[in-house]
Structure 1
Amino acid sequence: MQIAIDGPASTGKSTVAKIIAKKLDFLYVDTGAMYRSLTYFGLKNKIDLNNEELLTNLLKSMNYDSRVINNRLHFFVNSEDVTQEIRNPIVAKNVSQVASYPSVRKHLISLQQNIAGNQNVVMDGRDIGTVVLPSADYKFFLTADPKIRAKRRFLENKKKGINLSLEELVTAIKRRDELDSKQMVMAKDAILIDTGEMSIDQVVNSLMNKIQR
């Protein structure tokens, strides 16, 4: 079975996807972490993020893996734990540009489809239901007002000691939405859910009810 959860940044889709995967004992695939990992290693290796060819060559040398450690999902690239590093603001600022390159997308989409080919998966991203898993059994598209999403990111950053103002985050999220707009298209058969006034538990219950039905 394949479950696709799409939507813009900070709508709660990754958190919801992880919980649902755990409840169903399915594999959770965080496609965003793959693009973030490439962005992080591009920055780390001082590669020009405007150079699609160099980034694609770097991507082909990367071995991506994820596993649960102490009840938390960790992401590894070439055996290096990059769980924390791929969530820093500089990566978030540049990941949409990296994810827009056709050769990067082609390589990672193929990898994601291979992962989902022979096992039950919950996969979240921007175009899972339209491009990566167009035949998914269940498709959801989560959305929320940019100001609500910025407030969520602000609270997350505060816990991590990242100091960005709410106004800066609203601007950043709107810019991210604009950059993601070419890939972020809701599937015609997806179920739209506005998470703005919902708790994570409420969103999870809403999706689970539809899946179990």
Structure 2
Amino acid sequence: MLVVGLGRFGSAVAESLVAMDFDVLAVDFDMARVQQYSGVLPHVVQCDTTDPRALQQIGAAEVTTAVVCIGSDVESSVLTTSCLVDLGIDNIWAKAITAPHGRILERVGAHHVVFPEAAMGERVAHLLSGRMLEYVQIDDDFVIVETGVPAAAVGKSLGEAQLRATYGVTVVAIKHAGAAFTYATAESKLGATDLIVVAGHRPDVERFAGSV
């Protein structure tokens, strides 16, 4: 995998991929950053990724997946993505900082555009509501959250509580006090201090969390 840009986001992506045993080639234009991560990442090189010939020289055309983590320099982000598209890389992910930036990346050929700052901001906002302990957006309108048990369901089994019929959400896991999370079944009893993992469409999940 090729990771372009070793700022906070890019370095985190590269280090996580290496920890998962992926073969990662990390690239940055700034030699100071290359030196900073040379002892952390196995393969780090300095390269002007807006130059197609430079990308060819470092073997970028041989990778199947590339992640463009350049955010603040929109021109470099777009030119780098365009060069990687021209190299025929099958799977290109690109970081965007604004909606217009994201649209341009899509138009030049990025297969996936991510907005890490916006996604984190939305997640934190939901957590700040105090009703959710974890919030993960799976799709535009589908989320998974960790939350508590509504008072009306305490002491009942999931089958008896009828949470799906009432709220349109599915409880996929449950954690009793002092125990680990386990798969939820219709027989799972709901306690006042239990934590549950709920999946569903965003409005339904938010309505459910509001009842906790």
**Structure 1 or 2: more strand by fraction:** 2
TM-score normalised by length of structure 2: 0.33
TM-score normalised by length of structure 1: 0.33
More relative contact order, 1 or 2 (CA 8 Å, 6+ apart): 1
Larger Rg computed on CA atoms: 2
